[in-house]
Structure 1
Amino acid sequence: MAEAAIADHGLIGDLQTAALVSTDGSVDWFCCPRFDSPSVFGALLDDERGGHLRVQPAGRDYESKQMYFPDTAVLVTRFLTETGAGEVVDFMPPSGPEPTGNHRLVRMLRCVRGRMSFEVDIAPRFDYGRRAHRTELTEHGAVFSTDALTLTLHAVREPGDARLAQARVDEGDVHLSIDLTAGDVRGVVLESGADGPPREIRLAEFQRLFDHTVAFWHSWLTGSTYTGRWREAVERSAITLKLMTYAPTGGLVAAPTTSLPEQVGGERNWDYRYTWVRDASFSVRALLRLGFTEEAAQFAAWMYDRVTERVGGEGGPLNIMYRIDGSSDLTEEALEHWSGYRGSRPVRIGNEAADQLQLDIYGEALDSIFLADERALPVGHRGWVAICEVLDWLAAHWDQPEEGIWETRGGRQDFTYGRLMSWVAFDRGLRLAVTHGRPAAVDRWTQARDAIYNQIMTKGWNAERRAFVQHYASDVLDASLLKMPGVGFISPLDPMWADTLRAMDDELVTDSLVHRYDPEASPDGLRGSEGTFSLCSFLYVDALARTGRLDDARLAFEKMLTYANHVGLFSEEIALTGEQIGNFPQAFTHLALIDAAITLDQAIDRAARR
């Protein structure tokens, strides 16, 4: 049986880990106890050997639909059959700010019309399917255990219900049926780190868990100040970013998945369950623009900790990515026993790109700190000392080849984007020093900033292409440079920028969808092709809006929204067929959507006032 399509999933989570639930009622991806822990359910990467927790109507003859309970991360999968209609309501009650091994995945089964029999299959595959488990069935549930992790299944029912002991165990998996008529509610709760054996959960407690989770998300979303034209898409993106934020540290994972391919059947399959300095820094910008200052402050504290640790080695004070707790061991390996999503191998865990030199991260980090400072989240003394150390290091190292934002594995180059963001780092550092009268190597930073500007204008600009190019040794265009006007490096009305944007229109853009670059023209050390990057498509909207091409920007934005899945989520890329590919959902895409919506809203409003 083929893996369910990437886009046929919704995301639930408790702010320390997350799960993907398919439109056919299957939990196809769940890592426990953290985002970057080994998987327990991995059917998304190998339907036969990955494991799942599946709830479906008996007989498999049904139509299904999926939605979020309004303004929450509670997912509702609805089943329609000839005998009745039913729902599976999935959620994870939010965990607290302290790391915990206790997590609950709640599956509420409800018959809303007629009658319905649900079949429930619990088939865990611990440690990416590499660790065998023991199963014990009791009258109130079941226990699945290994030496490293135990999952406890609690049954939800009322007095007089058939005992769960009537369920059957087959090779360590548990199978049971639940018969319901209109108005009945039953379900299961899968819990890690339970403090006792399986217990019977009554409906009143079940309802309290639901009410508490709904109230949490409603309360959190009231912090949003966005009142623009695309409120539903923006707020869904904000909730998605929150779901991918590790509450104990504020670290944001790039995606909750690993090895979902950039080309089905290809080798561009990477582990995104870590915190990239770049992605998380951009998320601070997006969340601040929405009014969520608490998340921005927490990540700023996480960033200060990383800088003061000074573990970067060759790459300087910062690594490009970390585990969500701030540790830096991301050793990459392949899971040879898994087939991969629809045959896309290898399936990788860990990420050796962590050792790359990517100079742009310093600009993104300083930009987020600068924006936080502007919004009453000032930098303290310890933070300022760390910033000075970063910029002093960068002043001595910015002018060298690197791997770049796209983490190519074809060798280092003088990437224009890396230079651009190094310019941003010095510009923001100088502004902070002047605004607050802080001690700083102002002359050195100014010299570096000006040297970078002049270098980009001479070496990054290709006179024959009449465009800024990917790196100094090429004439290849690169969508990352869509950030140039947004960070203030160049006026959006400058003729050099207008020419660059037109060149991208002709070469990288296809019906609102934007390629990162042409891998055939700029070899990146990997085989195969890739789809358009949704992140780049939203950067394109932002750039169009800043340039004053508002009709083009609005049309491109509206088109991009049609590529979201049924519950408003975006993966990393869009294939030629319109299929979502790459890790899912991707934080970078959702934060770019937020930025593009706000920029476009503001531009339209300014034009209307004029």
Structure 2
Amino acid sequence: MTSFTALLANGITAALAGPTGAIEWLPIPRFDGPSVFGRLLDRHGGGYLSLEPEEPVPATQRYLDEGLALETRFDGPQGTARVRTWLAFGRTAVWMHAETSMPLVLTCRPMFNYGAVRPAWEREADGVRFANPHGPEQARLLIQGPHRPTARPEQWICGPGNVTVVFRVSSENPADTRWLAQPVGTDPERVWRRTASFWQHADIPYQGPFEAAFHRSVQVVRALTYRPTGVPIAAATTSLPENPGETRQWDYRFVWVRDAAYAGEALLLAGDVVGARRIAEFLLNAVSLEDRPFAAPLLRVDGSVPDGERDMGWLAGHQDSRPARMGNGAVRQLQQDLAGSVLWLVYRLWEETGDAGFIRFYWWAIAALADWSRRSWNWPDASLWEFRGIRDQHTHSRVLCWTGLTTAAHLAEAVMGDTRQARRWATAAERIRQTLMAEAAAHGGFPQRARGGVPDAALFTLPLYGFVPADDPAFHATFRTLEETLVQDDLVFRYRSDDLGNARFPFTLAGFWYARVLLRQGALERADQVLARHVASATPLGLFGEHVDPESGQARGNFPQLFAHTGLIAALAERRRLLEGQRLPGMAANPFQSRPEPAPTSFPA
């Protein structure tokens, strides 16, 4: 059984809850901060918050229809209990509200700075106050309803009856300190209703197969988005391993330029122009005019550059996977697909909205991205896979340089009226195309790198950007190779091995790329089989990890993964558009233009 089941979020930070509803992960004051509850990375020293029966009893969980509030129901010999848990919007506060006919044990054991610092504490009439003796952080647990202390300072017996528990965390801000002292109030329902309104009003209309999976994925993108800047992080966690007991575990709590651009395109395809535009504006405002356009492939949620990678040797690691890490060494890498990813999003926004003013306002950044791609398209890089020991001319990276130059050339002519600049970028794009097509001819299909190599799943994206049609002979040969080497039981490996060893599990996003190509080839039933297989690989609450273990069905890697959820949104949104008669990049014509939509009831929920 996995130790995490549910994501809770408030647009500032995110928490992960376990099978009994215990909060096992909560960074403060935002997504990329140090944890105050970190049992996810150390069962004994990480800290947690729980409200559950003293003796183990069967528990069932679901998200409430109104949004990302977790309901955990316990049924035992002493009675039943229903516990709702959510993060309130505004300052960081975990809310738990229990309706119980049996006593529950409340345990609150915060540990500051990723479990490195035990808090000082002081009991109060309605709870306990905590403080970091080596830093500014403070916290307060408030309990409303029948409760009594136990001999252990961090535990209480709550109920039977209605019990509300609130855990608040403050920074050095004096206003936050005053907020800590405020009572819970008398109406937790009012707090939840106001929180739920965010999730309800941000919903995107969708009807079709896998409707529940679509809406859950939209919620996850919202949950991973830092509301003040409108941009999503790659995942809510750090150091969840691809394979327990090994060393492939990284910190993903940052804004990856590429991942954010993917999220923007997915939201745009689904009809959320505002969300897509906020992401595009963040990325364009992060462009530098001094050196490479992005100072690093990943940024903090405020746009600053993170520090390097650091091992947290005092933590046991998730399922004994050492080391747990803060920060990510990819911050120092050159990844040549970034500029093209952003320009593709900008171009698709312009196609969707016709907003020429937006293009003119950000032309300085658009031109800088295009000029960078023109100068550096053939430079060796670490690729989108962020290889730690491989630098080469990767086909996917160079295709994205072509994508950026082609879209920028079109915008230069159509919006800016600058035919000279358009011709300059289009000429550079054609040079890239000729180079890559010659390499494909020499290798019998597109290779992973200029000098060859077994194709990787990133090559599925070539028709998604319109570089080649999905029925192009060179791509078709590549597609066959990808199916033969990477597709297994309708799941897709990103590659079979890299500089760190063998890739153990399928990569969830790659399966959605595969489905999107199948749609462009007119293979609707086959695409639906692949989509159904991936929807079935989600957790019971509809969340995707970076990878999936086909045997156990468990999510692997950081969780939940932005990549995977945006992949599902994009695939289903494109499926709907194709059946409505629209044509997508990578298609000479729409093979579904006159085909009726199959009944949604023919698909699994």
**TM-score normalized by the length of structure 1:** 0.90
The answer on 1:408 being equivalent to 2:404 is no
Corresponding residue pairs, total:
573
Q: Find 1:533's aligned residue among 501, 507, 515.
A: 507
Residue type matched to 2:75 in 1?
L
Residue in 2 that maps onto 1:338: 315
CA contact (8 A) 2:244 2:320 kept: yes
CA distance in 1, matches of 2:440, 2:242: 28
Q: Secondary structure at the match of 2:139?
A: strand
CA distance in 2, matches of 1:198, 1:452: 62
Residue in 1 that maps onto 2:15: 19
Residue in 1 that maps onto 2:585: none
The answer on 1:104 being equivalent to 2:101 is no
Question: How far apart are residue 298 of structure 1 and its match?
Answer: 1.6
CA distances 1:152-183 after superposition (whole Å, capped 9, x unpaired): 112122xxx45x5x34544xxx1011121xxx
CA distances 1:443-469 after superposition (whole Å, capped 9, x unpaired): 321121001111111124553xx3322
Question: How far apart are residue 351 of structure 1 and its match?
Answer: 0.7
Residue in 2 that maps onto 1:98: none
Indicate how the Cα distance of structure 1 residues 197 and 304 shifts in structure 2: closer, same or farther if over 3 A, else same: closer
CA contact (8 A) 1:185 1:203 kept: no
The answer on 1:372 being equivalent to 2:349 is yes
CA distance in 1, matches of 2:282, 2:164: 38
Question: How far apart are residue 343 of structure 1 and its match?
Answer: 1.3
Q: Find 2:451's aligned residue among 473, 476, 480.
A: 473
Q: Find 1:122's aligned residue among 108, 115, 127.
A: 108
CA distance in 2, matches of 1:201, 1:393: 54
Residue in 2 that maps onto 1:496: 474
Residue in 1 that maps onto 2:564: 589
CA distance in 1, matches of 2:270, 2:14: 23
CA distances 1:75-102 after superposition (whole Å, capped 9, x unpaired): 111112123221111111223xxxxxx2
Q: Find 2:37's aligned residue among 31, 35, 41.
A: 41
Q: Secondary structure at the match of 1:506?
A: helix
Residue in 2 that maps onto 1:562: 536
CA distance in 2, matches of 1:467, 1:475: 11
Residue type matched to 2:2 in 1?
A
CA distance in 2, matches of 1:599, 1:129: 44
Q: Secondary structure at the match of 2:229?
A: coil
Residue in 1 that maps onto 2:222: 242
CA contact (8 A) 2:337 2:396 kept: yes
Residue in 2 that maps onto 1:133: 119
CA contact (8 A) 1:186 1:203 kept: no
CA distance in 2, matches of 1:408, 1:304: 26
CA contact (8 A) 2:247 2:323 kept: yes
Residue type matched to 2:98 in 1?
L
Question: How far apart are residue 266 of structure 1 and its match?
Answer: 0.9
Q: How does 1:420-569 map to 2 (within 5 A)?
A: 420-439=399-418, 441-461=421-441, 463=443, 466-519=444-497, 524-527=498-501, 529-569=503-543
Q: How does 1:57-456 map to 2 (within 5 A)?
A: 57-60=53-56, 62-95=57-90, 102-111=91-100, 115-146=101-132, 147-157=135-145, 161-162=146-147, 166-170=149-153, 174-180=154-160, 184-193=161-170, 194=176, 195-196=178-179, 198-204=181-187, 206-221=188-203, 224-307=204-287, 309-310=288-289, 313=291, 315-376=292-353, 377-378=355-356, 379-439=358-418, 441-456=421-436
CA distances 1:349-400 after superposition (whole Å, capped 9, x unpaired): 1011011111111111001111122233542534101211221122111111
Indicate how the Cα distance of structure 1 residues 318 and 169 shifts in structure 2: closer, same or farther if over 3 A, else same: same
Question: How far apart are residue 345 of structure 1 and its match?
Answer: 1.2
Question: How far apart are residue 230 of structure 1 and its match?
Answer: 2.2
CA distance in 2, matches of 1:454, 1:480: 20
CA contact (8 A) 2:493 2:503 kept: no
CA distance in 1, matches of 2:436, 2:442: 10
Residue in 1 that maps onto 2:589: none
CA distance in 2, matches of 1:601, 1:91: 33
CA distances 1:279-311 after superposition (whole Å, capped 9, x unpaired): 00011111112222222222222112211x447
CA distance in 2, matches of 1:44, 1:418: 35
Question: How far apart are residue 318 of structure 1 and its match?
Answer: 4.6
CA contact (8 A) 2:394 2:450 kept: yes
Question: How far apart are residue 200 of structure 1 and its match?
Answer: 4.2
Residue in 1 that maps onto 2:584: none
CA distance in 2, matches of 1:550, 1:467: 24
CA contact (8 A) 1:460 1:470 kept: no
CA contact (8 A) 1:263 1:529 kept: no
Residue type matched to 1:209 in 2?
V
CA distance in 2, matches of 1:518, 1:437: 45
CA distance in 2, matches of 1:215, 1:16: 17
CA distance in 2, matches of 1:339, 1:192: 25
Residue type matched to 1:564 in 2?
A
Q: Secondary structure at the match of 2:268?
A: helix
Residue type matched to 1:107 in 2?
M
Question: How far apart are residue 199 of structure 1 and its match?
Answer: 5.0
CA distance in 2, matches of 1:332, 1:528: 23
Indicate how the Cα distance of structure 1 residues 129 and 438 shifts in structure 2: closer, same or farther if over 3 A, else same: farther
Question: How far apart are residue 185 of structure 1 and its match?
Answer: 2.1
CA distance in 2, matches of 1:188, 1:528: 46
CA distances 1:403-446 after superposition (whole Å, capped 9, x unpaired): 10000012211100001111100111011112213446223211
CA contact (8 A) 1:550 1:603 kept: no
CA contact (8 A) 1:54 1:122 kept: yes
- Unpaired segments ≥5 residues, structure 2: 171-175, 582-591, 596-605
Indicate how the Cα distance of structure 1 residues 538 and 525 shifts in structure 2: closer, same or farther if over 3 A, else same: same
CA contact (8 A) 1:154 1:199 kept: no
Residue type matched to 1:534 in 2?
T
Indicate how the Cα distance of structure 1 residues 301 and 401 shifts in structure 2: closer, same or farther if over 3 A, else same: same
Q: Secondary structure at the match of 1:609?
A: coil
Question: How far apart are residue 319 of structure 1 and its match?
Answer: 2.3
CA distances 1:111-165 after superposition (whole Å, capped 9, x unpaired): 2xxx2211111111110111231111100221111132111112122xxx45x5x
Indicate how the Cα distance of structure 1 residues 237 and 284 shifts in structure 2: closer, same or farther if over 3 A, else same: same
CA contact (8 A) 2:59 2:75 kept: yes
The answer on 1:52 being equivalent to 2:48 is yes
Residue type matched to 2:536 in 1?
T
Q: Secondary structure at the match of 1:91?
A: strand
Q: Secondary structure at the match of 1:448?
A: helix
CA contact (8 A) 1:154 1:198 kept: no
Residue in 1 that maps onto 2:6: 10
Identity of aligned residues (%): 30
CA distance in 2, matches of 1:576, 1:560: 10
Indicate how the Cα distance of structure 1 residues 609 and 84 shifts in structure 2: closer, same or farther if over 3 A, else same: farther
CA distance in 2, matches of 1:474, 1:211: 57
Indicate how the Cα distance of structure 1 residues 137 and 232 shifts in structure 2: closer, same or farther if over 3 A, else same: same
CA distance in 2, matches of 1:544, 1:24: 40
